[in-house]
Amino acid sequence: MFGWLRAEIRRIGNTTVWSWQGWASAWAREKSLRQWTLVNVISAVLAFALDLTAGERALILALGLLLLAAELANTAIEEVVDYISEQVDPRAKRAKDAGSAVVAVTALAGGVAWVVILIG
């Protein structure tokens, strides 16, 4: 009767382990992830130090996490492209550049949120 529950708990456990392994691998290899994490820590400290509403804090924190997710996705794109071929190919460059643009646009969203909150 509880076989499905055990299977779900095992699945969640596996997913947690794999996610941690992905984070740890990216952390070890990607200086940009470490840099964005530092920016996130500073941003979070400021979000709690300043007189912001709960909604403003939530927006800042959520955009910060989204930025880290974008950086992880960019890392995944780069790894896959490099795995497929080490040859220079314009399609590979476009894929890597698009991944980088995802990070840049997400960072801009966080910056815009901060500007609007601080000006408003």
Residue 86 annotated to the active site: no
pLDDT at site 20: 97
pTM for the whole thing? 0.90
pLDDT value at position 57?
98
Q: What is the CATH number of the domain that holds 14?
A: 1.10.287.3610
Q: Please give the pLDDT value at position 120.
A: 85
Residue 2 pLDDT = 86
**Which residues in the chain show pLDDT less than 50?**
none
Q: Which of 8, 71, 78, 79 is catalytic?
A: 71
Look up the domain containing 73 and give its range.
3-119
pLDDT at 36: 98
Q: How many structural domains compose the chain?
A: 1
pLDDT of residue 3: 87
- The amino acid at residue 8 is E
Task: State how far the Cα of 103 lies from the Cα of 73, in Å rounded to an integer.
Answer: 9
